[in-house]
Amino acid sequence: MIDLKMPETLHVDAFQMRIADIVDVDLGQLHALSMAVGWPHRAEDWQCLRELGHGVVALDEIGRVMGSAMWFPHGESFATLGMLITSPRLQTNGTAKWLMQRVLAGCPGTRFRLNATRAARRLYRSLDFVAQRTVFQCQGRAHTPERTDDLADGHALRPLHAGDLDAVIAFDTPGFAVPRPLHLIRLFEDSLCYGLFRGEELRAYSMSRAFGRGHVLGPIAAFSVDDAIAVARPHVDAHIGRFLRIDTHIESGPFSSFIQQCGLPVFDTVTTMTLGEGVDYGQAGEESAALFALASQSIG
């Protein structure tokens, strides 16, 4: 997918870097790269991302990984972008833009969505990305939130199993904007999953899995705020006293209050940006689900 018209090498200061496929480098080097900029990704998290998407790295003259960029296709014309990292010594030398240009040149006609850190927003704006939403990274040691009334009459909450995957994929599509069956199937393998049902109808789903310093809660999709809280609660209960993270674009209201009551204050924010036709996270309603929490900032 790499456009051969793009330069294969980049001169930075007194040395030269070259592009390589991310699957061809050692996980330990990728882990060291993310650690150098304070990102929490474990080697296992990098491996999961490599299985879900594609990526390129910048190597110096002795084969050290000095930068990375990844993209995660969802169908033929939409992808999410993430894991744009450059070694601290290269962050003002054009390496990140070079990597991004390589990715964009290799995916003509593709709409993109990404979540930009403060440091990267100017770069993405220079590449014509447009800001859409704020995502709140909430994290901390989980504790039991204030109890509310139990499930509404006729609703049942239960763990999901493989036979529910088709329903989850269809349910998730309006909130994510496009179908992402391969990603949900892969996440399902590593996650504890719950579904809220009204009879046979899926009303909400949630997943949590090991990530970074502890566990991450997401994705969550639901028809309503109450349904989203209902499928989030068992994950919080399962991680009382342990580190839990959730990335959500919900800024205020009952869902945000619930997250805060669980001991997960806002730690940082990123900005959802798009290139091409803008795509949102859906609108919750009786006929359509919205995305209340992301699987991760890289894959959405």
> Is 125 inside a domain boundary?
no
> Is 175 inside a domain boundary?
yes
> Is 124 inside a domain boundary?
no
Residue 88 pLDDT class (50, 70, 90 cuts): confident
> Is 126 inside a domain boundary?
no
Report yes or no: 84 and 120 within 8 Å, Cβ to Cβ.
yes
Inter-CA distances, 130 with 102, 111, 182, 188, 248, Å: 19, 12, 27, 31, 19
Domain limits at 268? Answer: 137-293
Note the pLDDT of residue 92: 63
Note the pLDDT of residue 93: 74
Instruction: Clarify whether residues 198 and 235 are in a common domain.
Output: yes
Residue 149 pLDDT class (50, 70, 90 cuts): low
Q: Identify the DSSP state of 88.
A: G
Instruction: Clarify whether residues 70 and 198 are in a common domain.
Output: no
* Lowest pLDDT segment from 16-20, 161-165, 204-208, 210-214: 16-20
Over residues 203-227, the pLDDT tens digits come to 999 999 999 999 999 999 999 999 9
Instruction: Clarify whether residues 36 and 176 are in a common domain.
Output: no
Instruction: Clarify whether residues 17 and 94 are in a common domain.
Output: yes
Cα end-to-end distance, the chain, whole Å: 22
Q: What's the rounded Cα separation, in Å, for the pair 72 and 74?
A: 7
Q: Give ∠ CA 165-171-172 in degrees, rounded to 5.
A: 90
pLDDT at 6 over 80: no
Note the pLDDT of residue 136: 98
Q: What's the rounded Cα separation, in Å, for the pair 95 and 207?
A: 35
Note the pLDDT of residue 295: 97
Instruction: Clarify whether residues 87 and 163 are in a common domain.
Output: no
Instruction: Clarify whether residues 83 and 145 are in a common domain.
Output: no
Q: Identify the DSSP state of 242.
A: S
Instruction: Clarify whether residues 162 and 103 are in a common domain.
Output: no
Instruction: Clarify whether residues 274 and 145 are in a common domain.
Output: yes
Instruction: Clarify whether residues 184 and 254 are in a common domain.
Output: yes
* pTM listed for this prediction: 0.90
Over residues 46-77, the pLDDT tens digits come to 999 999 999 999 998 899 999 999 999 998 89
Mean pLDDT score, 272-291: 77
Mean pLDDT score, 144-172: 89
pLDDT at 37 over 80: yes
Q: Domain holding 63: CATH number?
A: 3.40.630.30
Query: How many structural domains compose the chain?
Result: 2
Residue 122 pLDDT class (50, 70, 90 cuts): very high
